[in-house]
Amino acid sequence: MTTETSTPEQQDEHSTKGAYVEGGKEFNRDMNYIPDRITRDAAPPQVGPTPEKLWPVEADRYRLVVAWACPWANRAIIVRRLLGLENAISMAIAGPTHDKRSWTFDNGDPGADGVPRDPVLGYERLQEAYFARYPDYPRGITVPAIVDVPTKSVVTNDFPWITLDFSTEWTQFHRDGAPDLYPEKLRDEMDEVMKLIFTEINNGVYRSGFAGSQEAYEAAYDRLFAALDKISERLETRRYLMGDTITEADVRLFTTLARFDPVYHGHFKTNRSKLSEMPTLWAYARDLFQTPGFGDTTNFVDIKRHYYEVHTDINPTGIVPKGPDLSNWLTPHHREQLGGRPFGDGTPPGPIERADERVPAGAGAE
């Protein structure tokens, strides 16, 4: 099964190496990640390809390294929270910006030298975990990444499979009432939906924003909004992408929609319409945002800082826009009129227990 593919012609956006825009060319995402998987007893996985190395599911062994800013990492944050894996997999949150070397643990406590470090790994930069395993690692240092705490070395950064494995391989550590985010009976259809979402929407905004020519930009723009219109039509008669309950397909779409008005509409020139001007998608996005696990893991301050400060090739001044007003995320959505049960036979997750995992006051949609 393949859910996300791309041609490795240009450096991945959420890495920390290379230029983002190459004149005259279309943006293509580098999907060559460390393909290791964490599975039950290090057995061949239930779904997807079997990589060369398998790691065993084991509570308290691994650390999930994320950044609130990154949509791919935001997926992992949401899925971990929905499934209740907080007590099995610890989480380190990198700051919103990085240089060419790596994401840094700006949220950590400064040591004796005044440099913030992750309190568990002791690292200043995520790069150190990659180099602990691959001293000459040649590709981008990306989030999300899973790090083996005993060896302090990276296990995998293959983000499409990290979250699917959370659902299928870590079941013994799911909370009571955890939803089934990857239902077996829906997987074939889900894979097709998620492929469309990734290729045309998740990646589509970047194809527009990092286009190297007017022609490439306009083609990317048209593809993106054609896909958004198609997904909008699908959501007119069903509350969630796969029907009555939330699945990983919704998680994957949400992280792009949450960034649309604050970033993509202006920064990436995807300006046919704001999300707030697309009635069905806007109501759907607000429905998810107001569901535990989604809005409470969305940090708009970090999101805006990352895109506008890091992408100096398309925003050379580094100025971060003051707007838009985000309080409209909390307005009524009325999607409950379509019926459905967000968590199926399960229950919503409780409050975020760890203070360092809560989105800071003023960074959400207050």
Angle (CA) 317-321-324 rounded to 5° is 165
Tokens of 179: 């939803």
Q: What is the dihedral of CA 112, 113, 115, 120, to 10 degrees?
A: -40
Tokens of 259: 């960034």
DSSP class of residue 198 equals: I
Q: What are phi and psi of 38, to 5 degrees?
A: -105, 115
Catalytic site positions:
70, 206
241-273: burial string, b at 16+ Cβ within 10 Å, e else:
bbeebbbbbbbbbbbbbbbbbbbbbbbbbbeeb
Please tell me the distance from the alpha carbon of residue 265 to that of residue 281, in angstroms, as a whole number.
15
What number of residues does the chain have? 366
